[in-house]
Amino acid sequence: MKIGLFGYGKMGKMIEQIAQQRRHTIVAKVDINTTEVDYKNMDVAIDFSTPDAAFNNITTCFENEVPVISGTTGWLSDYDKAVDICQAKKGAFIYASNFSLGVNVFFELNSYLAKMMSTLNQYKVSMEEIHHTQKLDAPSGTAITLADGIIENTNYLDWKLEEGDDKIIPITSKREGTVPGTHTITYKSEVDDVEIKHTANNREGFALGAVIAAEWIQGKTGIFSMKNVLNLK
Ligand SMILES: NC(=O)C1=CN([C@@H]2O[C@H](COP(=O)(O)OP(=O)(O)OC[C@H]3O[C@@H](n4cnc5c(N)ncnc54)[C@H](OP(=O)(O)O)[C@@H]3O)[C@@H](O)[C@H]2O)C=CC1
Ligand SMILES: O=C(O)C1=N[C@H](C(=O)O)C[C@H](O)C1
């Protein structure tokens, strides 16, 4: 596969390593200063850039008929617009707030646990995410996906970056050193706590998931998720 990397920071560099181990070729490394991109020579674009850059990177790829895998977080207010452009161009797109295989299993576990907890009113949920100090967005995209999974399966209505009322999931975002990404969900009652946690030990898992998604999307048209890629459910 010939891969164009949009964003060549911590994730772009890790994806390059994993892609090369899997015998793929990096044909472009696009950053904010890039003036010309050869889209014709690209089988797929993988975007791990910035919240401000992602929408333009992604939709320019659609305009040039290049399928896109995007892991950039913090740009999702424009997600529906990106989907419309992809569909109009009969393109192919996967966005995931977290591409690691473990987190995608964790997403399923979170929904299952929320469903079981939905009738146990003595438990109050909360979430904590910890990331490195260079992270631009808070809460993390993964935390938002986890909160959506709880909202879909319980009476919680929304999430907030602070304590809210009973129907709001409070998310605490911590920024510490070089932490790759830790997410904890706690259901607390007077008598006990039920807790699930995912800890990324490094960035390899995110990068491997993104390359697997890029391999999977070859020859396909449409909007997909990691659930489709991993055949979960
Ligand atoms: N979905 C997932 O599994 C994961 C998602 N992420 C997300 O991926 C994104 C990138 O993370 P990470 O690599 O750690 O961040 P980095 O800051 O290390 O890398 C982002 C890179 O994008 C570059 N950039 C800035 N503007 C543009 C542009 N217009 N086009 C292309 N590139 C541009 C930045 O350049 P400069 O420094 O010069 O501004 C920087 O090199 C974040 O949103 C993060 O939350 C991260 C890990 C996993
Ligand atoms: O910025 C990061 O580093 C990460 N971002 C993603 C997110 O916002 O959830 C995924 C992962 O946790 C690492």
Distance CA 124, CA 190 (A): 10
List 230's β-bridge partners, or say none. none
Strands 25-30 and 44-47: unpaired
* 9 is an annotated ligand-binding site residue: no
- Tell whether 130 and 210 lie within a shared domain: no
Question: Quick one: how many helices (H) and strands (E) in the chain?
Answer: 7, 11
- How would you classify residue 13: left for phi > 0, otherwise alpha for psi between -120 and 50, otherwise beta? alpha
Which CATH number does the domain housing residue 77 bear?
3.40.50.720
Is position 135 annotated as part of the catalytic site? yes
Give the distance (Å) from ligand 2 centre to CA of residue 206: 9
Instruction: Give yes or no for a contact between 55 and 75, defined as CB atoms under 8 angstroms apart.
Output: yes
Q: Closest residue (by CA) to atom 1 of ligand 2? A: 135
Distance CA 147, CA 170 (A): 9
- Tell whether 188 and 125 lie within a shared domain: yes
Pocket probe mutation, ligand 1, options 13, 35, 48, 203, max atoms within 8 Å of Cβ = 48
**Global pTM?**
0.97
Which three-class secondary structure state does DSSP give residue 157?
coil
In the set 131, 174, 197, 227, the catalytic residue is 131
Q: Note the ligand closest to the C-alpha atom of 130.
A: 2
Residues of the domain holding 165:
101-199
Tell me which DSSP letter residue 74 carries: S
Structure tokens of 194? 């039920």
Atom of ligand 2 nearest to the CA of 73: 8
**pLDDT score of 164:** 73
- Tell whether 106 and 166 lie within a shared domain: yes
**pLDDT score of 163:** 79
Q: Closest residue (by CA) to atom 4 of ligand 2? A: 181
**HSE, side-chain direction, 13 A CA sphere, residue 103:** 30
- Tell whether 60 and 27 lie within a shared domain: yes
Structure tokens of 20? 């090369």
- Tell whether 152 and 69 lie within a shared domain: no
**pLDDT score of 28:** 97
**pLDDT score of 7:** 98
**pLDDT score of 215:** 98
Q: Closest residue (by CA) to atom 13 of ligand 2? A: 181
In the set 13, 89, 135, 188, the catalytic residue is 135
- Number of domains forming the structure of the chain: 2
- Tell whether 138 and 173 lie within a shared domain: yes
Which CATH number does the domain housing residue 105 bear?
3.30.360.10
Is position 183 annotated as part of the catalytic site? no
The low-confidence residues of the chain, meaning pLDDT below 70, are none
- Tell whether 26 and 89 lie within a shared domain: yes
- Tell whether 92 and 112 lie within a shared domain: no
